[in-house]
Amino acid sequence: MLRIKCPFCGYRNESEFSCGGEAHIARPSAAVSDKLTDSTFSEYLFMRENPKGVFLERWCHTSGCRRWFNVARDTVTHQIYEIYPAGKTPKTTIGKKAYQVNWRRKSKAEVASKYLKRTPK
Amino acid sequence: MRHTQSHRLGTNNATVTDKQKSVHFRFDGKEYIGFEGDTLASALLAHGVHLIGRSFKYHRPRGIFGSGSEEPNALIRVIKGATAEPNLRATQIEIYDGLIAESQNRFPNLKFDLLSVNNLFSRFFPAGFYYKTFMWPSTFWMVYEKFIRRAAGLGKISKRHLEQNRYEHKYAHCELLVVGGGAAGLQAAVIAAQTGIRVIIADEQHKFGGWLLTDNNFNIDERPAINWVHDTVKKLQSAPNVTCLNRTTVFAAMDDNFTIMAERVTEHLANQPAHLPKQRLWKIRAEKVIMATGAIERPLVFSGNDLPGIMLSSAIRSYIKRHEVLPGTRIIVFTNNDDAYFTALAIYEAGGFIRCIIDLRKNPKSQIITTIRKLGIEIKTGHAVITAHGTRHIASVDIAAYDCEIQAPISDISHMDCNLLAVSGGLNPVVHLHSQRKGKLIWDDRTLCYRPNNSSVQWVSVGSANGTFQLTKVLNEATKTTSIIISKIAKHYKISKTEETINGPKSDDSKQNWAPTPAWLINSGQPHLSEKTAFVDFQNDSTAADIKLAVREGYHSVEHLKRYTTTGMATDQGKTSNINAIGILAESLNKSVAQTGITTFRPPYTPTSLGLIAGRNIGSLFDPLRKTRMHGWHQSKGAKFENVGQWIRAWYYPQEGEEFHQAVNREVYATRHYAGLIDASTLGKIEVKGPDAGEFLNRVYTNNFANLPIGKARYGLMLKEDGMVFDDGVTTRLAEDHFFMTTTTGGAAAVLAWLEELLQTEWQDLKVYLTSVTEQWSVASISGPNSSAILEACMSEDQNITDDFPFMTMKNTFIAGIPSRIFRISFTGEMAFEINVPARYGLALWSHLMQVGKEYNLTAYGTEAMHVLRAEKGFIIVGQETDGTVTPYDLGMDWIVSKKKSDFIGKRALERESMNEPQRKQLVGLLTTDPQKVIPEGAHAVLNPNQDTPMEMLGHVSSSYYSPNLKHSIAMALLKGGFNRKGQIVYIPMLNGEQPIKAKIVDPIFFDKKGDRLHG
């Protein structure tokens, strides 16, 4: 059982949390999604990364403060490299790299999305 | 008649057993005497009892083999009062006065076992037996299964286990957890304890000391090892920062040093104090873990090696030293290493007769061997035991000169009788916990064992668990490793600077020359005969022949081999068998052991009772039960209840002599003709507040909410991003920035979580606050032609709100003095009012309504009647008509999907081409040809019932009831292209062989299609 540091409550057992899967999937706004083909939109809808190594994912302290936050976790060793707020991008080198190498950064849905503009480089 | 302890030594030097206190116990109906500190195994061996069970597959006689948790054979059922626990290892059961134990897997008794005929048919039970047999014809599986179930399975479970047994859970934190209380563990704990950090040390046995309890002829720091153990344990027990736990098995090592242990608290006691549990589950979060788990001896594999009277050499030494029991009189020792010579020495010192020592090595040299030679004990080097003979006990062995290089006997066989054979094939470090943590293992060619690759910063193995078998080295290693690991956390815990790396205590252990010779399988020269009785895994009865057959059939990976032959898969998890199996596999493949690899050990290390894992989370504590404030009333009226999620809801209220259907029909009829009242308190209720609340609801519902006037209510459908229906409910605007949302009973928690997720992750710019108020309101919903009159009768004249109360609006008023929010909404299609009051008034409101309603024929109805009433109107229930693959279009609810709104969750997904595919399953009504025949819910519909199987399915029936108002069976179904099939006939084939039910596809609104009744 992982030991996760909730940014609001401190270290807690994994059983208090729920994992919300991959982070940084920008939801295309209506204006954008209308222009996307069905298959491009389906990438946003269904395709999820499943890397062996560092993964940026969302967690929620469900049985605690119920706040969402992001985690950079190695899927092999379970080592957590960084915990950072929802809506922000990672700051550590490892986290930044994991963010950049994701295919999603270049996907049509994300490129077309106006949300991309808000993401700091 | 009591049996004498014929094999107990006369001396008084036992390290564990206390000969002053005798203990009476029963095994298989016979009474025996042992001493305090005895295990069931040592006490039985003291009486010369070896035969203790029958093997799993062939029912071969099996005896006590080991002395601890590695024991593969001696599985015992212990009976206590009305309950019994199966599959306990005799080597770990501490005896107490009145203990009743019995053997397992034998019928009718141990000495004569009917299923041992399997032994004669052993050629019909090869590797992969279960995969090869019973496979064809497939319909016969049901016949086979009964027989297999009877023959398979280990032990008998007691159905009344929970009556007398209680298990508890406990959480603990520490900076250092030391697993194992032998030389290495004790030394590590002492070093750590000095620094003041919190230390927990756990040992599986009831006495600390580990192998020092057996190998007590060494000195540590110039005093007997056993004295060093006593002093060290005393030191630890008196330290306030140390928790010493004996009888405690660490059985699982998980991520981030989350470690789980089973403490056997009272099961070794004749009288269990009521306040203590049987076992306690410790969940420990440790900063660092030191694994000092020791090593387990492995046997040698030769023909007949499973006979009772053949034991691990180290186990024999343990029985002598710990319990003063010498389990045989004419003894042969068979070894490939030095350790067995210490057993020979122990036997000699105990006055036992060693016929000879058979050593596979050609020219072994060490101090202990010289010592043994000087004692005049015969040593046959370069020899092997080829075969062991005996019926229910070993009687003799065949011995021959043996060449380990060519793996064959190189001389004629000679015969030697004996009644005890000590076998020693080398030591296996207990790497289970390391392996559970995904730690890598390294094969050491010199010591012939897998040892851990210590590369983690969170945990480390020391001592013989690390492949270090020499005592002085063990003590040094424990000292150094502990110092290093503590210095890493010293800063954080403000430990005063650790002392200079100290040397461990010195010992005079002389096991320097630890170099066993590899010998995985002793070849008799006639392998096709001997390998079938050369057992590798005793508990699962897998033999060297099985492994070789599996290899011939292509199972070359250790993981495949394990599953195909079941080697290492029994309750002992291959503690004695794994490495030998890998060795034989490696030889068959002409590979090295390192190349062959090893299977991954998984928790638990030893079998763990499910009761312990469940702890107190059983029965009424298993899951919370949620009851409404009106629950007592429902109960007093004899209501039958059903579970909806965690909620207990009134299902129907049978009157005297009424059956289910009669009660439901009466409730449904009364609601349509007079008035009905249902407890709707369980509906999910969420307050949505904030300046952007309207905008937020606009985005999560398919229809428009931003323009909802204050005081008005609107039905909304919520989708997930994939366009599938997720939840529905009525939301009312209480103020400009304040909405009151209701959800389905089962969906309440999921809806709240989903809305929170959206606000926190997707739309952080929206100012909206959510609060669950499900438990804050009690709700009674009154429907039917008389509902308005009843409501009016409940209100004083100045508070009468029934005039000018349009459909889908909300009003505040008082009913019988109770502040109420009344919503004019309807789930029955009748004129209806949903009355919300602060939760604590729930029962008062309900009772008042029922009393006033008496003269209006008001009837309480349950969830079943509610389902029928809504189905008559064709209203859907999310979760019944929907299953996560149904869109609003599929439900024929196009009207609720806004065409004007620029965005809402699921909008783009609904526009996908496939969502408009005309052959999607669509919601329709079904009317059966026979009006009395009710279709089973979940049944599938077909167009042609006479087609061959598998039939082409059209879809399934989602809801089906008898409607007493229509006097006709009605159903809703999701059928492919259903909208265009209205008027067609479908058939519903029945599982029980009855004729298919014939039904016509119709519109799903069966009753009051125009909706006139809503308005009274």
Name the residue ranges covered by the structural domains of chain B. 18-120, 163-293+430-490, 297-427+514-596, 625-913
Q: Superfamily for B163-293+430-490? A: FAD/NAD(P)-binding domain (3.50.50.60)
pLDDT exceeds cutoff 70 at B132: no
Give the per-residue pLDDT at B802: 73
Parse chain A into domains and list their residue ranges.
3-114
pLDDT exceeds cutoff 70 at B151: no
pLDDT exceeds cutoff 90 at B781: yes
pLDDT exceeds cutoff 60 at B501: no
Give the per-residue pLDDT at B512: 55
Contact criterion met (CB below 8 Å) for B845 and B622? no
Most A CBs within 10 Å, among B256, B257, B260, to test the A interface? B256
For residue range B854-891, list pLDDT tens digits in order. Answer: 999 999 999 999 999 999 999 999 999 999 999 999 99
- Helix axes of B183-193 and B225-238: crossing angle, nearest 10 degrees: 40
B105 or B183: which carries more pLDDT confidence?
B183
pLDDT exceeds cutoff 90 at A108: no
B421 DSSP β-pair partners = B310, B332
Q: Does B765 touch chain A (CB under 8 A)?
A: no
Lookup result for tokens 């094969």: B443
Give the per-residue pLDDT at B129: 64
Range of weakest confidence among A38-47, B508-517, B721-730: B508-517
Give the per-residue pLDDT at B131: 63
- For residue B61, whether the previous peptide bond is cis, meaning omega lies within 30 degrees of 0, is no
B124 exposure class (CB count in 10 Å sphere: 0-12, 13-18, 19+) = exposed
Give the per-residue pLDDT at B310: 97
Closest chain A residue to B254, measured at CA: A1
Q: Which pLDDT band holds residue B3 (cuts at 50, 70, 90)?
A: low
pLDDT exceeds cutoff 80 at B900: yes
B259 or B126: which carries more pLDDT confidence?
B259
pLDDT exceeds cutoff 60 at B34: yes
| Residues of A whose CB is below 8 A from B762 | 27
Q: What is the mean pLDDT of chain B?
A: 91
Q: Does A80 touch chain B (CB under 8 A)?
A: no
Rounded to a whole number, what is the distance in angstroms from the first to the last CA of chain A?
34
Q: Which pLDDT band holds residue B327 (cuts at 50, 70, 90)?
A: very high
Most B CBs within 10 Å, among A12, A45, A115, to test the B interface? A45
Range of weakest confidence among B71-85, B457-471, B641-655, B863-877: B71-85
Q: Superfamily for B625-913? A: Probable tRNA modification gtpase trme; domain 1 (3.30.1360.120)
Go through chain A and tell me how many residues it has: 121
Q: Which pLDDT band holds residue A103 (cuts at 50, 70, 90)?
A: confident
Rounded to a whole number, what is the distance in angstroms from the first to the last CA of chain B?
90
B170 DSSP β-pair partners = B282
Q: Does A27 touch chain B (CB under 8 A)?
A: yes
pLDDT exceeds cutoff 90 at B569: no
Residues B829, B835, B836, B837, Cα dihedral to 10°: -160
pLDDT exceeds cutoff 50 at B1: no
Give the per-residue pLDDT at B515: 75
pLDDT exceeds cutoff 50 at A116: no
Give the per-residue pLDDT at B573: 87
Q: What is the mean pLDDT of residues B393-414?
A: 94
Q: Which pLDDT band holds residue A105 (cuts at 50, 70, 90)?
A: confident
Does the fold of domain B625-913 match that of domain B18-120?
no
Cα angle value B40/B46/B52 (rounded, 5°): 50
Give the per-residue pLDDT at B163: 67
Q: Which pLDDT band holds residue A121 (cuts at 50, 70, 90)?
A: very low
pLDDT exceeds cutoff 60 at A64: yes
B946 exposure class (CB count in 10 Å sphere: 0-12, 13-18, 19+) = exposed
State the Rg of chain A over Cα. 15
B61-81 as b/e: b if 16+ CB within 10 A: bbbbbbbbbbbbbbbbbbebe
| Residues of B whose CB is below 8 A from A30 | 902-903, 907-908
Closest chain A residue to B754, measured at CA: A20
Give the per-residue pLDDT at B153: 62
Q: Does B855 touch chain A (CB under 8 A)?
A: no
Residue type, B324: E
pLDDT exceeds cutoff 50 at A119: no
Q: Does B908 touch chain A (CB under 8 A)?
A: yes
B143 or A92: which carries more pLDDT confidence?
A92
Alpha carbon distance B323, A30 (integer Å): 80
Q: Does A42 touch chain B (CB under 8 A)?
A: yes
**ipTM for the complex?**
0.94
pLDDT exceeds cutoff 70 at B145: no
Domain B18-120 bears CATH identifier 3.40.30.10: no
- Partner residue facing A27 (CB), from B258, B722, B762: B762
Q: Does B769 touch chain A (CB under 8 A)?
A: no
Alpha carbon distance B829, B826 (integer Å): 6
Q: What is the mean pLDDT of residues B613-638?
A: 94
Cβ distance of A1 and B254 shorter than 8 Å = yes
For residue range B10-28, list pLDDT tens digits in order. Answer: 888 899 999 999 999 999 9
- For residue B137, whether the previous peptide bond is cis, meaning omega lies within 30 degrees of 0, is yes
Single out the residue of B343, B322, B342, B337 nearest to residue B427, CA to CA: B337
Q: How far is B683 from chain A (nearest CA, A)?
A: 21
DSSP assignments along B939-1000, one per residue: -EEBS-TTSPSSPPP-EEEEEEEEETTTTEEEEEEEEETGGGGTT-EEEE--TTSPPPEEEE
Cβ distance of B909 and A45 shorter than 8 Å = yes
Give the per-residue pLDDT at B116: 66
Q: Which pLDDT band holds residue B526 (cuts at 50, 70, 90)?
A: confident
Q: The tokens of B672 are what?
A: 């349509």
Q: Which pLDDT band holds residue A93 (cuts at 50, 70, 90)?
A: very high
Cβ distance of A58 and B761 shorter than 8 Å = yes
Cβ distance of B256 and A3 shorter than 8 Å = yes
Q: What is the mean pLDDT of residues B946-963?
A: 94
Q: Which pLDDT band holds residue B507 (cuts at 50, 70, 90)?
A: confident
Give the per-residue pLDDT at B660: 96
Q: Which pLDDT band holds residue B82 (cuts at 50, 70, 90)?
A: confident
Contact criterion met (CB below 8 Å) for B768 and B688? yes
Q: Could you say which of 3.10.20.740, 3.50.50.60, 3.30.450.20, 3.90.230.10 is the CATH number of the domain covering B297-427+514-596?
A: 3.50.50.60
Give the per-residue pLDDT at A120: 43
pLDDT exceeds cutoff 70 at B148: no
Q: What is the mean pLDDT of residues B386-411?
A: 94
Cβ distance of A2 and B255 shorter than 8 Å = yes
Q: Does A58 touch chain B (CB under 8 A)?
A: yes
Strands B83-89, B725-735: pairing kind? unpaired
Give the per-residue pLDDT at A31: 79
Give the per-residue pLDDT at B346: 95
Give the per-residue pLDDT at B84: 86
pLDDT exceeds cutoff 70 at B186: yes
Strands B394-403, B258-264: pairing kind? unpaired
- For residue B950, whether the previous peptide bond is cis, meaning omega lies within 30 degrees of 0, is yes
pLDDT exceeds cutoff 90 at B123: no
**Residue B602 vs residues B283, B380, B431, B568: alpha-carbon distances, Å:** 17, 40, 11, 12
Single out the residue of B924, B927, B932, B934 nearest to residue B955, CA to CA: B924
Give A 91-120 residues with CB within 8 A of chain B. none
pLDDT exceeds cutoff 70 at A114: no
Q: How far is A119 from chain B (nearest CA, A)?
A: 13
How many CB atoms are closer than 10 A to CB A81?
16
Fold of A3-114: Folate-binding fold (3.30.2270)
Q: What is the mean pLDDT of residues B396-413?
A: 93
Residues 6+ apart with CB under 8 A from B914: A38
Lookup result for tokens 């009062």: B81
Q: Which pLDDT band holds residue B954 (cuts at 50, 70, 90)?
A: very high
